[in-house]
Amino acid sequence: MAGYLFKWIGKPKDRFEVLERGSDGSWPSDGDVYLIKARTFQPLSQIFSWADLTGRVPLDGINAVFQGQVFDPTGVKSRPWRISPWFFMKKVAPGTPHKVALAAPARWAGEPQSLFPSDPDLMGAIWLKSQGKPINLGGETTQQMARQQVEATLSGKLALEQECWDGLKNGNVQLSYLPAWRLVLDPQAGGGLIRWSALPAGTIVDFEVMGVREESSRKEVAFRFLEFLLAGPQQSALLGATGYFPVRSKVGAEWVGSALIMPSGPWFDRSEFIMWPYPRVAVTPPQPTSETNAVVPASGGEQKSE
């Protein structure tokens, strides 16, 4: 999901309106609540201030693994919402033993009939990860080298994420790298023969967080909205409704509720929440309106993936 921006609609409607990010990656800068990828949090904080959530939105019951991240170490400005690991996914033959089906592809870049998302940042990150290197250290120089290496190595093997998923389902693609939510929502895709795996070095995890703009005139209502999204019933409904795993869980039991067999081993302990700001954030300035509570949607919009 590209992320959400919510703007309060006053009487007589009294509700939040959902505004999706523009097709060019831009966000309206006058929203009240932002539900975004963690990697977008810091770039947006350079454009406007985030409200202090201390004492406003409790963290009771939220898995400690998802708290105190590098973009907000003290957990003052943001709250975790949901996560989705990226896995290597492959089509297997009927009757393939689980141990074989769930084995990670050691030389994934050279696998035949493979197709990967045409996102150089994402693929550059997993390229570093597969070499046992941290993906959020080294700065822009390291990131740029990883992008260039991936673009050269995967030449002719890059396509839109949706094309990768469609190819995997219809059998034209045998291996790809995709977010877990796709298979969670459609476990019978490809005749129920698609399996996922993670490298021993770990994988990339899409980590989505929530924040409230400091200048919002409806901060109290916005705080209650965040609290609502973190409540047990809403968190429990996330997996079935969106394919994303909730952050209200216990350490070591992050995948409870999944009907699919999760990869074994310490891959999650070695995984990382990518902090590269991709796509680059551009904020759309507020558009003039003649109505006090009118909402002007950003142009376009995207489906599930940044």
| pLDDT computed for residue 101 by the predictor | 87
Q: How many Cβ atoms are within 10 Å of 47's Cβ, its own excluded?
A: 12
| pLDDT computed for residue 197 by the predictor | 95
Query: pTM (2 decimals)?
Result: 0.83
Same topology, domains 4-83+204-284 and 87-197? Answer is: yes
Beta-strand pair 194-197/79-91: antiparallel
Distance CA 83, CA 243 (A): 9
Residue extents of the structural domains in the chain: 4-83+204-284, 87-197
State which residues of the chain have pLDDT below 50. 1-3, 5, 10-12, 278-281, 287-306
CATH class of the domain at 4-83+204-284: alpha beta
Domain 87-197 has CATH 3.40.190.10: yes
Which is it for the CA torsion 111, 91, 263, 304, positive or negative? positive
For 263, half-sphere exposure in the C-beta direction (CA atoms, 13 angstrom radius) is 27
Q: How many Cβ atoms are within 10 Å of 137's Cβ, its own excluded?
A: 11
Q: How many Cβ atoms are within 10 Å of 207's Cβ, its own excluded?
A: 23
| pLDDT computed for residue 53 by the predictor | 97
Give the residue from 266, 269, 247 showing the smallest Cα distance to 257: 247
